Structure 1
Amino acid sequence: MQNESYKLYGADISYFTGKVRAYLRWKNIPFEEIASDAGVYKEIILPRVGFPVIPVVIAPDGRCLQDSTEIIDTLESCHTGPSVYPDTPRQRLASLLLETYGDEWLVIPAMHYRWHYNRDWAIQAFGALNAPDASAEQQREIGARRAGPFANAAVLLGAEPHMHSAIEASYECLLADLSRHFACHPFLFGDRPSIADFGLIGPLYAHQYRDPKSGDHMRKTAPLVAQWVERMQNPIPLSGAFLPNDEIPQTLLPVLRRMFIEQLPVLADSARHVRQWIMEHPDEALPRVIGKHAFMLEGREGQRIIRPYSLWMLQRARDYYRSLDSENKAETDAMLRTVGGEVFLGFEDPPRLARAGLSVKVAQ
């Protein structure tokens, strides 16, 4: 299988295509990328998946894989070579947490900057993707129709007008933290990209590096982050090693701390809402969104939708944490307390979740 080519249906402007593409390149898995225009959605994605989504990977044996995390996990299980998952407890847990941060939290600045600074460019790019042979004017019309739900999602995810300055302040601090880290290490945990790097590359490549105004800003204010993006997009396959002795770099601690300050309280409140919803709707399928709740960012309070899927992502880290023996758990507990991870230590899990298409369901 390893010598046969996969098909990656995606797009340069797609958040999660960037994650999967970078993984395939580093893992040295042969693949052909097919831009997902309207014809691809009609002829390939809708018949195979059942709903419009990218990325989608078709394996040489015909299997259809969807969801970036499950794509990577499936390919890790059937391709040999170095793993993107560290095999030591602190690095493994931290990498799972940071994948959740990249996938499920950095979507806020990614969507904010795209739709509030790069909107015209994004609309044209959506049109060009969906109708590559159309005129520029037709592409803009098509792009405006196709991009509407994505633009609206920016506000639903928390980028309300009064939150813009808070989102930008948080993102600027993240760029500064990552710049200090990449001055010392080429990737998050040493010389090899981890699942955490692939989680962060989704937003930091497709939106913040490629979108013109955001990309100019990154290259000017955080050139070391831009260089990491370029390393992730053009890696030396299967190369490098994680830091020895299960080391968590000191320069990475501020990034973990930021996740625990910003995202973990939101996930804890999401779990509370999910538990309550399930109790009140015992025989109903868990919806993709269950209302809104408040969140805090840089001292400002906003509102955002409650997405149970984010809890499925965190569940991966929770499962790993619970699997640790007492000695390893004590070491990870000490690391978590160093970065303000008490919310994770005392996290009240919802009922077990399983992925179901674009959302999740209560596992049976």
Structure 2
Amino acid sequence: MLEPNGSDTAPMNDVHTPSPALRLYGADISYFSAKVRAYLRWKGLPFEEVHANRDVYRHTIIPRIGFPVIPVVHTPEGAWLQDSTDIIDTLESQHPDPSIQPPGAVQQLVARLLELLGDEWLLLPAMHYRWHHNRDWAIQAFGALAMPEGSEAEQRSAGERSAGPFAQAAELLGAEPAMHAAVEQAYLGLLQELNTHFEQHPFALGAHASVADFGLYGPLYAHLYRDPASGAIMKQRAPAVVRWIERLSAAPVQPLAAFPATGQIPETLLPILARQMREQLPDLTETAHRFQAWLTLNPDEPVPRVIGKHAFRLEGQTGQRITRPYALWMLQRARETYLATRGDGRVAADQLLDQVGGDAFRRFEDPPPLRRDGMSVALVSA
């Protein structure tokens, strides 16, 4: 099933052979495979993609990673990379040009915030629309992935076996029946704000793609554009978002433009960031409180992927969703960028946060430093 940690898990004839190119194990329907695929194309890094069917999971991914997950990247040097964030960070360190990291302090902060928004918060509408509006299509798509040579009936049966956990994940992330209208209202509001932005700018921070674009691309392409019902909504309401998706899906055909030398960000991002601060930051604050309480009661235990549920609010409605420490690791990346900013850069960052109602982010009480640990996180000191 889809894991809200930079990876997608899926149902269990590839046998690995050495390749001079990167090898991406993924799937067209996978949220985080889309993020990595777009990055590889944009960077111009040669790669081949292997669709992760049952045999690929059984014979390649599980023996090397330890659990059934995508995306996975195998490098020509023999390294096996897992988790979309770690994959991109690792490859970016090895192939820094053209960089997806903007130079300005405020740009860097905004890029990390939008990565956080795409990777973590947009899981909610992405899973909701897939499993509550595109369920039959998704069942057939998952069946075709698991059994590419199977009959339509066999594929349907395989897809049905996968559908239960995925649909359950949508509700666990907060898309309970009573919250459906709120989830859709919030998503459609964001979609309109993104459309206004992309009407004026080709990418999130202007004329050059950044980590912000790839974080947003995962949910907006793999679930909300490709799936037919949600795709029809996007094409009708947000044609500029569709053009951005198509632009990011292809390798650049023109010389890359530079990030704005001034370090400024487009004003059209302000409503998007304001939405993030009023929707996602309270949820992350509650997650941090629950996680800190768990650490106090379980000081020597491995951190689980889920530590119960907590209340969250969206469009005036209150629901319940699972408490996932992994989200705090993604937030930590943005917080580290902010805390490392000094002088005029910190002043500019604070001015931006003031504009978008970001006081909760600025004053966030950070839990102990975290590192990614397989499908969950661990304390850095552990």
Q: For the superposition of Structure 1 and Structure 2, which TM-score range results when normalised by the shorter chain?
A: over 0.9
Aligned residue number for residue 197 of structure 1:
213
The Cα shift of 1:49 comes to 0.4
Aligned residue number for residue 373 of structure 2:
356
Letter in 2 for 1:343: A
The Cα shift of 1:152 comes to 0.7
The Cα shift of 1:151 comes to 1.2
Aligned residue number for residue 258 of structure 1:
275
SS at match of 2:143: helix
SS at match of 2:200: coil
Aligned residue number for residue 11 of structure 2:
none
Structure 2 unaligned blocks of 5 or more:
1-18
Q: Does 1:296 align with 2:313?
A: yes
The Cα shift of 1:326 comes to 2.8
Q: Deviations along 1:235-272, whole A, 9 cap, x unmatched?
A: 30672222230111111110111110100011011111
Aligned residue number for residue 62 of structure 1:
78
Q: Does 1:127 align with 2:121?
A: no
Q: Does 1:16 align with 2:32?
A: yes
**Structure 2 counterpart of 1:345, from 356, 359, 362:** 362
SS at match of 2:262: helix
Q: Deviations along 1:30-79, whole A, 9 cap, x unmatched?
A: 00011000000001110110001100000001100000011000000001
Q: Does 1:111 align with 2:134?
A: no
Aligned residue number for residue 43 of structure 2:
27
Please provide the CA RMSD for this pair. Answer: 1.1
Aligned residue number for residue 257 of structure 2:
240
Letter in 2 for 1:283: D
Q: Which deviates the most, 212-221 or 240-249?
A: 240-249
Q: Does 1:78 align with 2:94?
A: yes
Whole-Å separation in 1 of the counterparts to 2:55 and 2:341:
47
Letter in 2 for 1:322: L
> Does the 8 Å contact 2:23/2:49 carry over to 1?
yes
> Does the 8 Å contact 2:305/2:377 carry over to 1?
yes
SS at match of 1:84: coil
Aligned residue number for residue 8 of structure 2:
none
Letter in 2 for 1:306: T
Aligned residue number for residue 226 of structure 1:
242
Aligned residue number for residue 306 of structure 1:
323
Identical-residue share of aligned pairs (%): 57
Aligned residue number for residue 5 of structure 2:
none
Whole-Å separation in 2 of the counterparts to 1:250 and 1:320:
21
SS at match of 2:313: strand
Structure 1 unaligned blocks of 5 or more:
none
**Structure 1 counterpart of 2:57, from 41, 45, 65:** 41
Letter in 1 for 2:338: Y
Which consecutive segments of 4 or more residues in structure 1 shift more than 4 A? none
Residues 158-169 of structure 1: pairs in structure 2 closer than 5 A: 158-169=174-185
Q: Deviations along 1:73-103, whole A, 9 cap, x unmatched?
A: 0000001412111111001001001100000
The Cα shift of 1:320 comes to 1.3
Whole-Å separation in 1 of the counterparts to 2:21 and 2:55:
22
Letter in 2 for 1:182: F
Whole-Å separation in 2 of the counterparts to 1:230 and 1:146:
29
**Structure 2 counterpart of 1:278, from 291, 295, 304:** 295
Q: Does 1:182 align with 2:194?
A: no
Whole-Å separation in 2 of the counterparts to 1:239 and 1:133:
41
Q: Deviations along 1:293-350, whole A, 9 cap, x unmatched?
A: 0000000000000000000001011111111123211110111111010000110001
Letter in 2 for 1:295: F
Whole-Å separation in 1 of the counterparts to 2:42 and 2:220:
17
Whole-Å separation in 1 of the counterparts to 2:164 and 2:124:
17
Aligned residue number for residue 341 of structure 2:
324
Whole-Å separation in 2 of the counterparts to 1:336 and 1:53:
36
Matched positions, count: 362
SS at match of 1:191: coil
Whole-Å separation in 2 of the counterparts to 1:307 and 1:80:
31
> Does the 8 Å contact 2:44/2:251 carry over to 1?
no
Normalised TM-score (structure 1): 0.98
**Structure 2 counterpart of 1:95, from 105, 111, 114:** 111
